[in-house]
Structure 1
Amino acid sequence: MMELTMTRMHEASVLLYALSVLLYFIDFLHSNQKANRAAFWLLAIVWLLQTVFLFLYVLKTGRFPVLTIFEGLYFYAWVLITLSLIINKLLRVDFTVFFTNVLGFMVMAIHTFAPVQIESEVLAQKLVSELLLIHITLGILSYGAFTISAVFSLLYLIQYDLLKRKKWGKRLIRLGDLAKLEHMSYVLTVIGVPMLLFSLILGLQWAYIKVPGVQWFDFKIVGSFFVLVVYSVYLYVKVRKHIYGKTLAFLNVCSFMSVLINFFLFGSLSTFHFWVT
């Protein structure tokens, strides 16, 4: 029972860590101080939980946890969180904090869901299944965010066309203003990108554990990373190149084509996602 409770707390810390990284990502794009502060306090909670786990482990084993690869991963994740908190508080180098914690999240996820470290075989198998469930859930949620984002961009293009042709009427009013449509489309993409990244990290870990000899250049895997790259380019174009309006909306609609291709075409060609747990 105690083992299950500790495992659940580890999973909760991973979820809190993911939320913290998401908020740091928002701050990375927009220099949003509210997001930065919320991310910092979430990361502080994760650090506190990890420190308690580390202390309990030292008491249980009577030694410092660095003798095995999984103990080393845990301590490495703790070091990354500690350093990022110090950097965030003292040096204010926020971009460094964001990228450090993307790596930290990967390490923590590997440690938390790796069955090698778990004594109970039944619990280990259950965690691997839960790992797959979280991977699929995050992937679908990210695709949902991209879909609604594309809808907003499509509405933007329709509204833009109506305004250009001076087609005034109730339809024009009901579509909403262009600025709001563009903003909502962008916000949903900002949410979708890190969720897809987390999904890919956990999915690759599941494949490594559960599917020996998996083809890493499988259509579905490559297609998923292609979707991530496409939407990352979209964010880069908006934030760094300052491209707005019709061009950005059209780019977002085209980006959504990569989601459809990956979901329907690459999904049917893949052997990776036909494996069962």
Structure 2
Amino acid sequence: MIEEYMTRLHELTIIVYALSILLYFIDFLYSNRKANKVAFWLLAFVWILQTIFLVLFMMDTGRFPVLTIFEGLYFYVWVLVSLSLGINRLMKVDFIVFFTNVVGFAIMVIHTFAPIQYESEVMVGQLASELLFIHITMAILSYGAFSISSVFSLLYVIQYDLLKRKKWGKKLIRIADLAKLEHMSHVLNVIGVPMLLLALILGLQWAYMKLPDVVWYDAKVIGSFIVLTVYGIYLYLRVGKGIQGKNLALWNLASFLIVLINFFLSGQLSSFHIWNS
């Protein structure tokens, strides 16, 4: 019963942790203080949940959780979160907080879903299924964001062409203005990229648990990282270089084409990515 309760506590922590990282990512791109503030309080809640777990563990075992590698990993993440909160509050070095917690999240996932710490085979199987469910859900949500983003980019290209050719009419009126189309396309990609990153972290942990002999040059693995890379380049061009307009919209459409290729073609070529595993 205690094991089940601690598992649910871990899963809640991961969900809140993921939301915090998403908001820190938005703040990383836009210096959004509101997002930073909410992310900080979510991270503080993560710290509270982790502290509760540590206290429960010490009450149950009568010792400090550092005697095994997996206990050490959890305490290590707790230290990272504690330092992040201190840095964010005292030094205001937000970028360090964001990147530190990406590392912390990855380690947290490894600790939570690592089968070696559970004696029950049933529990291991249940955790693997739940991990796969979260991975697939986050990946699909990110792909959904990319899909709608590509629609906005397509409308941008159409609107741009109509304006350039001075084709005034109902189509021009019914399509939103270029600035709004570009903004919405960008916002959806900002949401999709960190969700895909977190989904890949979860997916790699699932593969490690269920398929220890998986080859990392598998088509699905390579395709997923290519998708993350091209959308990362999109964000770099938009935020880092300040590039806007038709060329960026075309890049976004080309990126979505890679998403479709990865979703359908590499899924057929993959040796392990089976949805019902």
Tell me the TM-score range normalised by the shorter chain: over 0.9
Partner of 1:43: 43
- 1:136 corresponds to 2:136: yes
Shift of 1:168: 1.2
Q: Name the aligned partner's letter for residue 187 of structure 1.
A: V
Change (3 A) 1:60 1:2: closer
With over 3 angstroms needed to count, the CA separation of the structure-2 counterparts of 1:195 and 1:186, relative to structure 1, is: same
The residue number in structure 2 matching 1:268 is 268
Q: Relative to structure 2, which stretch is displaced further, 111-120 or 98-107?
A: 111-120
Match of 1:114?
Answer: 114
- Quote the Cα distance in structure 1 between the aligned partners of 2:62 and 2:9: 22
2:18 and 2:198 in contact (8 A); partners too? yes
Residue aligning to 1:105: 105
Of 110-119 and 65-74, more deviation after overlay is shown by 110-119
User: Match for residue 190 of structure 1?
Assistant: 190
Any residues of structure 2 matched to 1:155-166 within 5 Å, and which? Answer: 155-166=155-166
Which is further off, 48-57 or 37-46?
A: 48-57
SS of residue in 1 equivalent to 2:167: coil
- Tell me the residue number matched to 1:202: 202
How far has the Cα of 1:267 moved from its partner?
1.2
Task: Report the alpha carbon displacement of residue 276 of structure 1 after superposing the two structures with TM.
Answer: 5.3
CA distance in 1, matches of 2:195, 2:259: 14
Aligned position for 1:212:
212
Query: How many Å separate the matches in 2 of 1:200 and 1:138?
Result: 9
Contact 1:43 1:85 in 2 (8 A): yes
- Separation in 1, partners of 2:186, 2:114: 35
CA contact 1:138–1:196 (8 Å) conserved in 2: yes
After TM superposition, give the deviation of residue 164 of structure 1 in Å. 0.9
Number of residue pairs the alignment of both structures matches: 277
Cα deviation, 1:190-221, whole Å, max 9, x if unaligned, reads 11101111111111111111012111110100
Query: What is residue 249 of structure 1 aligned with on the other side?
Result: 249
Say whether residues 1:234 and 2:244 are aligned partners: no
Shift of 1:126: 0.4
For 1:58, the equivalent position in structure 2 comes to 58
Q: Secondary structure, in 3 states, of the residue corresponding to 2:166?
A: coil
| Runs of at least 5 residues in structure 2 that lack an aligned partner in the other structure | none
Aligned 8 A contact 1:215 1:272 in 2: no
| Aligned alpha-carbon RMSD (Å) | 1.1
Given that 2:9 and 2:53 are in contact with CA atoms closer than 8 Å, whether structure 1 keeps it comes out as: no
Q: Where does residue 92 of structure 1 map in the other structure?
A: 92
TM-score by length of 1: 0.97
Q: Is the 8 A contact 1:230 1:255 kept in 2?
A: yes
1:41–1:242 Cα change, 3 Å:
same
- Match in the other structure for 1:6: 6
Map Cα deviations across residues 82-104 of structure 1 (whole Å, 9 max, x no partner). Answer: 00000100000000000000001
Secondary structure at the aligned position of 1:272 is classed as coil
* Alignment partners' CA distance in 1, 2:48 and 2:181: 40
Conserved 8 A contact 1:219-1:269: yes
Q: Helix, strand or coil: the match of 1:74?
A: helix
Counterpart residue number, 2:18 = 18
Task: Write the distance in 2 (CA, Å) between the matches of 1:6 and 1:74.
Answer: 13
Query: In the alignment, is residue 167 of structure 1 matched against residue 167 of structure 2?
Result: yes
Structure 1's unaligned 5+ residue stretches are none
How far residue 80 of structure 1 moved from its aligned partner, in angstroms, is 0.6
Partners of 1:212 and 1:111 in 2: how far apart? Answer: 16
Map residues 142-161 of structure 1 onto 2, 5 A cutoff: 142-161=142-161
Contact 2:66 2:75 in 1 (8 A): yes
The whole-number CA distance in structure 2 between the counterparts of 1:119 and 1:179 is 56
Cα distance in 1 between the residues matched to 2:152 and 2:142: 15
Q: How much does 1:3 deviate?
A: 2.4
For residues 124 and 266 of structure 1, the distance between their equivalents in structure 2, rounded to whole angstroms, comes to 28
TM-score, normalisation: structure 2: 0.97
The letter for the 2-side match of 1:191 is I
Shift of 1:275: 7.8
